[in-house]
Amino acid sequence: MRSMTGCGYGRIRKEGWEITAEIRTVNHRFLDIGMRLPRNIGFLEQSVRTRMSERLRRGHADVFLTVRSVEESAMSVEADYDLAAHYSEIAREMSRRTGTENDMTVSRLMTMEGVTTVTEREMDREKITVLCGEALDQAIDQLIGMREKEGEHLKEDLRIHLQETAKLREKVLARAPHVVEEYREKLEARLKALITDGVDPVRLAQEVAIAADRCAIDEELARLESHIRQMETYLEETGEIGKKMDFLIQEMNRETNTIGSKASDAQIARVVVDLKSEIEKMREQIQNVE
């Protein structure tokens, strides 16, 4: 089991390039990858998405990439000598006409707009894509390790709540048979108070049978037990199980609501409140399961 929350970092420095990759993820219904790449490495976007989708299934991921040349020869400087000569000529003419000293030096001349142009060497896209993949794999490995560690904590917490849910279900199961019997006794007492000639046993049996059918919760308890067992199975599975668990927890909540509405018993109603509380705690945790 994996959580959908985590982060990972990778760094590659070789063949004249330094590439860093950082990934941060939070829970999301599907795999949603967000990237803001500098324009010069925009060509990496599709390869990054493909690589991540091969190893992650769910969660919103923010990806940050940097690519930097570390070779001294990475930068080239070009000069426009004709433009420099024109600047120099204007400076001399301005000095002559104004009678001021011509202080135009080569250093100042190089800073004039358009005289020098600094360009970075062209990227080998194929090489950069490979190196980026290595840095990204490092980041994904670290991310998955963190998500698995967090997943173990989620599993233990879910198991505790699931065990408590099973205990509460047993309480309802033990109480259920007494509900009909108590209804029969109450109904008989009311009828005796109203009818002085005695209670018709046939009529009483019919009323009790109707009540028993109306408040029977055997099927709901059986399905709830089945859901609990299935959830225990999911806790030991790997891969994308969050959606399955989310669907199952909805079913558990539905059965619990039905038990509460059909039983019409104060003791069962109190247990149902506790059941719903445990199920809600599990639902919140499951939202972060991959």
The per-residue DSSP string of 82-103 comes to: HHHHHHHHHHHHHHHHHT----
Query: Do 19 and 57 have their domain in common?
Result: yes
Q: Beta strands 59-69 and 6-14: pairing type?
A: unpaired
3-state helix, strand, coil in the chain (%, to 5): 65, 15, 20
Among 192, 180, 198, which Cα is nearest to 268's?
Answer: 180
Q: What is the pTM of this model?
A: 0.71
Number of domains in the chain: 3
Q: Please answer whether residues 227 and 253 qualify as being in contact, where contact means their C-beta atoms are separated by less than 8 angstroms.
A: no
Query: Look-up: residue for tokens 């142009």?
Result: 117
The single residue listed with the structure tokens 């108070």 is 193
Residues 33 and 134 in one domain: yes
Same domain assignment for residues 130 and 193: no
Please identify, among 102, 120, 138, the residue that sits at the C-terminal boundary of a domain: 120
Please count the CA atoms within 13 angstroms of the CA of 153 that sit on its side-chain side.
10
The answer to whether 19 touches 128, Cβ cutoff 8 Å, is yes
167 shares its domain with 193: yes
Q: For 148-202, how does the pLDDT look when each residue is reduced to its tens digit (9 = 90+)?
A: 999 999 999 999 999 999 999 999 999 888 876 776 666 666 666 655 556 566 6
pLDDT of residue 68: 85
Residues 78 and 65 in one domain: no
Q: Whole-angstrom Cα distance, residue 220 to residue 192?
A: 34
* Structural domain boundaries, residue 199: 148-286
Side chain identity at residue 157, one-letter code: D
Among the listed residues 287, 259, 285, the one whose alpha carbon sits nearest the alpha carbon of residue 272: 259
275 pLDDT tier (thresholds 50, 70, 90): very high
What are the tens digits of pLDDT across the range 18-52? 999 999 999 998 999 999 888 888 999 999 999 99
In eight-state DSSP terms, residue 200 is -
What is the model's pLDDT at position 240? 87
- On whether both 160 and 281 belong to a single domain, the answer is yes
Q: What CATH number is given to the structural domain containing 57?
A: 3.30.230
Q: Are residues 56 and 163 in the same domain?
A: no
| Token pair 């994904």 in the structure block, residue | 140
